Amino acid sequence: GESVGLHLPTLSVQEGDNSIINCAYSNSASDYFIWYKQESGKGPQFIIDIRSNMDKRQGQRVTVLLNKTVKHLSLQIAATQPGDSAVYFCAENSGGSNYKLTFGKGTLLTVNP
């Protein structure tokens, strides 16, 4: 079946730098693309979502970009902080429903002080 995948399994950045986490998706029918953050030993936490009719959405220190032409999603974190160290998952709503999500395998972001 269709699935969401990630380009890089690990990413290491210096504190204060910007981080970019990438994701490839294959389900053209998905309406929403979502980013979750999972800190060690905790459950995933919603960061931001973007609807399929948008190219860009900004939150607090985060920006999600959606390129439907190449089926690519990215999460940009500005001025990365040690507290941003976590695994980041992209997800998409399966089959267009609001509630069934398909998750990617995750990218581990490590922020070096």
Chain positions contacting other proteins, by CB under 8 A: 4, 9, 32, 34, 41-46, 49, 89, 91, 93, 98-106
Least distance CB 17 / other proteins (angstroms): 26
Of 38 and 63, which has the nearer Cβ to other proteins?
38
In the complex, least distance from residue 5 CB atom to other proteins, rounded to whole angstroms:
9
> Smallest distance, Å, CB 101 to other proteins?
7
Closer residue to other proteins (CB): 17 or 56: 56
| Minimum CB distance to other proteins smaller for 21 or for 106 | 106
Q: In angstroms, rounded to a whole number, what is the distance separating the alpha carbons of residues 74 and 57?
A: 11
